[in-house]
Structures are given as structure tokens and as C-alpha cells.
Amino acid sequence: MVKAHASVLADQVEDFPRWYQDVLDKAQLADNGPVRGTMVIRPYAYGIWERMQAAVDGRIKAAGAENVYLPLFIPQSYLEREAEHVDGFSPELAVVTHAGGKELSEPVVVRPTSETIFGELMAKWVQSYRDLPLLLNQWANVVRWEMRPRTFLRTSEFLWQEGHTAHATREEAAAYARRIHLEVYRSFLEDVLAIPVLMGDKSPAERFAGAVNTMTCEAMMVDGKALQMATSHELGQNFAKAFGIGFTDSEGAVQDCWTTSWGSSTRMLGGLIMSHGDNTGLRLPPAIAPVQLVIVPVRDDGRVLAAAARLREELEEAGVRVKIDERLTTGFGRRVTEWELKGVPLRIEIGPRDLEQGVATLVRRDTGSKAPVTLSETSALIPGLLTEIQHAMFQEAQRRLTDHTVETTDPAEAKEAAQAGFARIRWDLLGEAGERTLNGSAITVRCLQTEDGGLPAPDARPEELFAVVGRSY
């Protein structure tokens, strides 16, 4: 058995940012684009993104929303309509001034979000209470110029989905945003990506501009820093008033709608890497892994590849995503290193001698454990093992989150604890003044939650809430 070369990557503890960059590179996940801040998503990472999209999209459709596609280009005047918006995005905008071989009479902005066009269209599409709820979502690229780009986490262009919905009542809008947050985002992040997420509301200072409430899913990376994985906003009637999204109710009176918006992006790829990766590379939870099991023949004597093909067939029938590494002119150790880098959950190593005895070696990527398996029993064994790995990876991440979250009772203690993970502190003991102080040390309030870690009720009082604070990406 050849051990993977740990030296391929920088050490996570010594230099986490460098480790992250090494994984992107060596696992062939991403390249930099020729324009600063842009990225090339390579086939292996894009395959993961396709699975993310499918899982999130399926959940969005199950919640009743339909997909649309809106234009990339937005007239500059649209972004001047809502003042808060311009302040939020202006330095991040990419502006098209020339097209069709001449200067445009009005410059056109490359969408930083499609919010303003959604606003325009929703105002047009909603007339009567019969048109409500209007539940829309879009998968698209957006552009926000980045001065300090980091692949997947902050790039000048990224891929995302943004949902926008309009409802007749505040209660209905609030319930729908909460449903999306729990049934789409939390479910996907925890059940598919095996990333435990803290549920909570953003503090007023961290809230999305124009929102009356922003719910967030906060995850803890291997280095103890937070990554915001998805957010869901209740926009009250603010957005509807700004865009004129009104409806005639069943009594004939005209009312403003109550709207929501919610989004997740290719940033989740960064979160996946930094939640589960180790010094040997990526570790993919089976539910998201494009390849769940790779068969690596040590060498072929004319029978090994044939046996591998039979095994693949059996495994595929059992619903497992399998690949055979047939690059026999490449050294076995090098091939093993590559699959470990790519985080394939299970590996079966098989050579002529194994085959004679009807066995092979089964290696788990999450634990590194190796054990002999009887070939004839393998396909019956694997699906259950994949489920076990999925569960074990979630548990491991959950333990890290728990072990590195300290309950504190004063801001100074919270600041100290936030150097190595998260701190929880009663919101009335921290307050907005305490939050500003922590911000000065690059520590932010990640979310406000109930004592037992749930989403706060709409009428929760400050003294019932707990702030989770930490450093973040």
C-alpha cells in the first residue's frame, strides 16, 4: 500500500489560506480567469456545483417556486431608484458604456443582483390577489467587482440563485421565507453537504439593506472561522413600495405586497472545501460526490480490469456512482494521491494477488481506514457504508462546531473565544455598542438565535436572544 504524499498541500494548521489555494489547484477545482477576480470552474468542481444546483433546485420547486431568466444588463437608472441599493453596490458595479460599435446613450450595468428587474416585473405581473403568491427563482451569473478576490468565496463574477416572492400578508411572507430557509437551505446544507449550520437572524447592523429581517445559515470552517452559506430576507412592504408591487384584494381595495428574497451561491463550493477538507485534500460527503467510489487497479494481468468492470456494474445497479481508474501507465501511488486529493469517499484497490483470493482493499477517505473486503459481498455493503460516511462526516463537523463554540457572559470573554471559533453571549449583554467594539477586532455577530439554537420568533425580546460571534470569511 502506498501512502498519499501529504506534502502535496500546505499544512492546514500552518497556513490555511495557502492550503485552500493548493486544494483548488491540485484537485483541479478552479483556475483564475484572465480578468482579475474572475474564476474558471473546472470539470470536477463544476460537477459538484451541478449536483448542488440540482439538490437546491429540487427543494425550491418542492416549495412551489418557478424558475425564470432575467437579463444580464440593467439600465443604470434602475439602480438609482432605490438609494440604499446604490450605496450598497456602486463601487462593485461593472458598467458597459460601449456596444454595437458605439457609445451607449445610457450606460448599462452588469447585474450585481437581478433585484431591480424582479421588482419591475413583479409590479407588472401582480395585479390581483389571484396572482398571489408569486414565487420566482433565478439561477444566473452576477458581477460584483472584487478588490480582494478569493476563489469561490469572493469573486468578481459568481453563480447563484436568487428567489423573489410576493404575498398578500406579512404572516404568509414570513412563513414562506422561513420555509425556504429551513426546507431548502438548512436541509440541503446539513443533509447533502453534511455541514451543520447555525440558524439565526442577522443583527440589525448585519441585516440586508431594505430587509426587516434576514435569516442566515452560518457554518464553521476547519480553521474556526464562519462562512455565511445562505440568507433569506423578509422585506416587509419596503421592496413592494419601492417598485409599486401592489394588488387588488378580494374586496377591491389596493394593497402593497409583502415580499421576500433569498439566495445561495458558488460560495458553497468554498464552504464545502473548508468544512471537510484535510491535509490530504478534499473530503466529499457521499451525497454530493460526483464519484462515490473509485476502483483503482494496482496493475492489470488481463483479469483485474475485467473484474473491476464487473464490480462497477454491480455497484451501479446498487445505485452507486463509480469510476474505474484505468490509467495503468501512471504509477499506482500517484493515482491514489489524486483520488484522495479529489475527496472520493471510497476507494477499492485491487491487484492480481487480491483477485486470486477474491478480495480487495476498501479505503474510507473520511477516516483513512483500510480493510479487506470480499469481492462477492462488496456491492451489498457499499450503499450502507456511504450512508454511514455521510452521517459520520456530519457528526465530525458538528463536534468541531460544538467544541469550538464557547458560552460566554461578557464581551471581553466573547472576543477572546472568537479567536479560535465562535462565542455565544446574551444579546442584551452585548448589544449594538458591544457589536461595534467587536467589529473593531474583525469579529462580527454571525447571528442572533434562541437559547436552544433556533430561529427567533418574530416577537422575540432582546433578552431572550443569544448572539453568536466569530471571525468570518
Q: Which residues bind its own copies (CB under 8 A)?
A: 31, 33-35, 38-43, 46-47, 49-50, 66-75, 78, 90-101, 107-108, 110, 117, 120-121, 124, 130, 136, 140-141, 143, 145, 147, 156-157, 159, 327, 329-330
Tell me how far, at minimum, the Cβ of 218 lies from its own copies, in Å: 26
Tell me how far, at minimum, the Cβ of 112 lies from its own copies, in Å: 11
Strands 405-407 and 198-201: unpaired
80 versus 356: smaller Cβ distance to its own copies: 80
- What span, in angstroms and rounded, lies between the C-alpha atoms of 74 and 113? 10
Tell me how far, at minimum, the Cβ of 114 lies from its own copies, in Å: 10
Instruction: Decide: 226 and 422 in contact? Cβ < 8 Å.
Output: yes
145 versus 431: smaller Cβ distance to its own copies: 145
16 versus 158: smaller Cβ distance to its own copies: 158
SS (H, E, C) 137-152: EEEEEEECCCCCCECC
DSSP notation for 103-134: EEEEEEEEPS-SHHHHHHHHHHH--BGGG-SE
Which 3 state secondary structure label does DSSP give 75? strand
50 versus 249: smaller Cβ distance to its own copies: 50
5 versus 42: smaller Cβ distance to its own copies: 42
- What span, in angstroms and rounded, lies between the C-alpha atoms of 18 and 23? 9
316 versus 416: smaller Cβ distance to its own copies: 316
Instruction: Decide: 104 and 97 in contact? Cβ < 8 Å.
Output: yes
- The H or E element that residue 227 is part of is strand 226-234
Angstrom distances, CA of residue 432 to CA of 100, 115, 132, 203, 350: 51, 29, 37, 8, 60
Tell me how far, at minimum, the Cβ of 125 lies from its own copies, in Å: 9
Tell me how far, at minimum, the Cβ of 330 lies from its own copies, in Å: 8
48 versus 465: smaller Cβ distance to its own copies: 48
Tell me how far, at minimum, the Cβ of 293 lies from its own copies, in Å: 19
- What span, in angstroms and rounded, lies between the C-alpha atoms of 224 and 60? 30
- What span, in angstroms and rounded, lies between the C-alpha atoms of 15 and 7? 13
Give the torsion sign (CA, 164, 167, 170, 176).
negative
Which 3 state secondary structure label does DSSP give 209? coil
Give the torsion sign (CA, 414, 418, 423, 428).
positive
- What span, in angstroms and rounded, lies between the C-alpha atoms of 235 and 165? 10
User: Of how many residues is the chain composed?
Assistant: 473
119 versus 421: smaller Cβ distance to its own copies: 119
46 versus 176: smaller Cβ distance to its own copies: 46
Which 3 state secondary structure label does DSSP give 205? coil
Give the torsion sign (CA, 298, 300, 304, 308).
positive
Tell me how far, at minimum, the Cβ of 9 lies from its own copies, in Å: 21
110 versus 320: smaller Cβ distance to its own copies: 110
Tell me how far, at minimum, the Cβ of 260 lies from its own copies, in Å: 17
Tell me how far, at minimum, the Cβ of 45 lies from its own copies, in Å: 9
Instruction: Decide: 262 and 138 in contact? Cβ < 8 Å.
Output: no
319 versus 384: smaller Cβ distance to its own copies: 319
Tell me how far, at minimum, the Cβ of 46 lies from its own copies, in Å: 5
Encode 261-274: b = buried (16+ Cβ within 10 Å), e = exposed: bbbbbbbbbbbbbb
